[in-house]
Structure 1
């Protein structure tokens, strides 16, 4: 008989690796300090992703985060784009932090929480009076029966386990609040579910932006940020029509709220959904959410003398950050050799008319006319455009489920796991108990039980 000695080092190596994994790696992974540090880092970068605008163009970051002077002395557009602070929630390092945090919670659940629950489900009787001395709360009563204790404990929702192993000795164990031991496990499951939902949404979701003129129909095309596994199949076979866009103003002329009346159309052009949206009131369809985020002026409707009505587009002008205005040039001769400029700053209907030299000719409102270059130019109306942010995040339902589990687990965790032991030897009843929280309330409960039994001979 021969023995292959090569298997011995292999077995020793595998045994050493398993020992290291259990004793060192899992010890570090399940360390509460590691979980707290990871949670703080995730929170800091989540705040960063909220403060720094996400998914904007490089020109936006170059304009708002210049190199000289750098924000806080180091935060420039180059730093933002190299690190990925312009799309924090989709970066490999942020997703890695989520995975590591979720792995730490999962390992803690299996190595600590589940064994703690298993231990709580196991119990043993106290068979010797000296065992009661180890309890934080215990007492001795003179009584010849244990039966009077049972209805008192049952009324207080204790589950009772009793063993009469011989005629002279009675033993009892009671517990309640085992759900409090399950609560932390549900909390961990909820947090891990939230993390999984966030990761899934980051990998498969997308964000788009559209500026759509009132009365126009469009399909979502302008995707500005998308996960590596994002699919646009959800956008097929339907489109959206902006039936009307309008703004409500305050008596002082400020914007009170802006609205978009929108319809979802199928391939045949039939309306399948309808919603009036405004800030914090989006349109939802097939998991795609349309948020009202911005507005603009898309064009102006004009009429020359008695001509048909023309709609001329307007563009936003560069004011070097001194406000938002829109303008366009309107020809007043067929050969376009002469014309006027129209300027507007909102949809209240006020339009400024300038000649070719930049001189203000007139100020008119929608529905009014002015004489320019020998013709009657009538301003019919200003056409608004709605700024929409479109989001598709299939991880949101998973996140909602995780939050529900988290809230359920938190509520369950408030239940105290209380245990009471009792032993009768002769005419002496030994009784004691312990709990994992709400110690004062438990002491009052036990004192109440003792008062109902009889006056303690020794406490």
Structure 2
């Protein structure tokens, strides 16, 4: 039994809790510095030549599960350990402190009062009247008062003792919610062109919600640099009910546990017309060899598939730059313009952008938000100081003994006490 008590004391020690918080903070920083949830080859390619911190190469990184820090066994172990330490601390320390604060302590001798943090003896000629006056004054100022045979006990701010317990409870719920969300949450990143949609499957592999992009717009500054991306999305339920909303960067759309973020943008296709052909919508792909944000495609200029040309573009506003098969610049075409290219009339109708949507389903969010509310309430209550005052009158003597203590802000109580003493001296 003694060993169990020692283990529990060790688990609930402040040093252990601080050490765990430090390790968790370092782990979170590591998860921020190292890209998460990438392929194994990504870590081999990037960290074998340039090891993390100079020693952790791709093999060690994967072995230590640094590629998914927040769901690794050791990170979850740290969270469970911290949660257990907080729970033990609450049961072994905070709950007894709260219970002690709720219990009325009856001091029956002047010696007991003299041992308090603040104590004073007052000589008075009218004991009963003075005690009644201070009792009424205490109650008027919000103190809870209990009187027993000429002895008065008063307390204020006992609810402040609930604060640390709520903070511990909130932190435990926060870790449970974050862990549950990490293990069961889903994240999908998808580029959609206007009019396109994506079907989300339920756990039973059945079609659930359908996300449709109705409209996408890129707002640019006078120099042509992107400033904001806006998408109008339709969320369609299996029964046909539809809800539409505009989302933009920092303004997501939350719908029944699903959060849609405006994350990025891209270019999806070029609509062109070759000679008298119908309007052709040709998909384009990124070409990193030509630049960070360059998209393009190769098309033939002859019906037999010969004389290919390369069309490249850097924004939805154009222009489209056209190159020969050997890389020679042929011409530059703006939208709604046409020109002979290698004896073929080509017209650029428009350039279709695509919206980069990030879809997140995190079932732990309600727990996380609840935990934040509990922590805020607990932190607010913890500011409240718990104050206690005892007043004792010895029968047959013209002396009254008064003393008090406070778990914090003792100087505040020492400033209040003279006001009560003045009532006893009158």
Measured against the shorter chain, the TM-score band is: over 0.9
Q: CA shift at 1:258, angstroms?
A: 1.4
The residue number in structure 1 matching 2:348 is: 379
Aligned counterpart in structure 2 of residue 284 of structure 1, from 254, 257, 265: 254
Q: Contact 1:211–1:387 (CA<8 Å) still a contact in 2?
A: yes
Aligned counterpart in structure 1 of residue 216 of structure 2, from 212, 225, 245: 245
TM-score by length of 1: 0.87
The residue number in structure 1 matching 2:142 is: 157
RMSD: 1.9
How many Å separate the matches in 2 of 1:391 and 1:233? Answer: 18
The residue number in structure 1 matching 2:232 is: 261
**SS of alignment partner, residue 219 of structure 1:** strand
Aligned runs of 1:69-218 on 2, under 5 Å? Answer: 69-143=50-124, 144-145=126-127, 146-164=131-149, 170-218=150-198
The residue number in structure 1 matching 2:418 is: 447
| Runs ≥4 residues deviating over 6 A | none
Q: CA shift at 1:327, angstroms?
A: 1.0
1:309 maps to 2:279: yes
How many Å separate the matches in 2 of 1:353 and 1:138? Answer: 92
Q: Say which is worse superposed, 438-447 or 202-211, in terms of deviation.
A: 202-211
How many Å separate the matches in 1 of 2:138 and 2:237? Answer: 65
The residue number in structure 1 matching 2:10 is: 28
How many Å separate the matches in 1 of 2:247 and 2:42? Answer: 27
The residue number in structure 2 matching 1:345 is: 314
Per-residue deviation, residues 191-229 of structure 1 (Å, max 9, x unmatched): 1111111121122212222122232111247xxxxxxxx
The residue number in structure 2 matching 1:424 is: 393
Q: CA shift at 1:108, angstroms?
A: 0.8
1:19 maps to 2:6: no
**SS of alignment partner, residue 407 of structure 1:** helix
1:272 maps to 2:242: yes
Q: CA shift at 1:271, angstroms?
A: 5.4
Unaligned runs of 5+ in 2: none
1:359/1:55 Cα in 2 relative to 1: closer, same or farther (>3 Å)? Answer: same
1:46 maps to 2:16: no
Q: Contact 2:200–2:209 (CA<8 Å) still a contact in 1?
A: no
Q: Contact 2:217–2:229 (CA<8 Å) still a contact in 1?
A: yes
Q: CA shift at 1:453, angstroms?
A: 3.3
Q: CA shift at 1:334, angstroms?
A: 1.1
How many Å separate the matches in 2 of 1:90 and 1:323? Answer: 32
How many Å separate the matches in 2 of 1:342 and 1:62? Answer: 35
1:388 maps to 2:370: no
1:91/1:430 Cα in 2 relative to 1: closer, same or farther (>3 Å)? Answer: same
TM-score by length of 2: 0.94
How many Å separate the matches in 1 of 2:49 and 2:115? Answer: 69
Q: Contact 1:213–1:386 (CA<8 Å) still a contact in 2?
A: yes
How many Å separate the matches in 1 of 2:39 and 2:359? Answer: 17
How many Å separate the matches in 2 of 1:209 and 1:59? Answer: 20
Q: Contact 2:151–2:391 (CA<8 Å) still a contact in 1?
A: yes
Q: Contact 1:201–1:393 (CA<8 Å) still a contact in 2?
A: yes
1:210/1:106 Cα in 2 relative to 1: closer, same or farther (>3 Å)? Answer: same
**SS of alignment partner, residue 135 of structure 2:** helix
Q: CA shift at 1:83, angstroms?
A: 1.8
1:233/1:402 Cα in 2 relative to 1: closer, same or farther (>3 Å)? Answer: farther
Q: Contact 2:338–2:346 (CA<8 Å) still a contact in 1?
A: yes
Q: CA shift at 1:374, angstroms?
A: 2.1
Q: CA shift at 1:161, angstroms?
A: 0.7
**SS of alignment partner, residue 264 of structure 1:** strand
Unaligned runs of 5+ in 1: 1-17, 165-169, 222-230
Q: CA shift at 1:184, angstroms?
A: 0.8
How many Å separate the matches in 1 of 2:266 and 2:188? Answer: 17
1:52/1:234 Cα in 2 relative to 1: closer, same or farther (>3 Å)? Answer: farther
Per-residue deviation, residues 378-419 of structure 1 (Å, max 9, x unmatched): 111111112222211100100111110111011111111101
How many Å separate the matches in 2 of 1:141 and 1:394? Answer: 63
Per-residue deviation, residues 12-37 of structure 1 (Å, max 9, x unmatched): xxxxxx33212x21111111111111
**SS of alignment partner, residue 107 of structure 1:** helix
How many Å separate the matches in 2 of 1:267 and 1:429? Answer: 78
How many Å separate the matches in 2 of 1:62 and 1:383? Answer: 36
1:438 maps to 2:409: yes
How many Å separate the matches in 1 of 2:57 and 2:316? Answer: 36
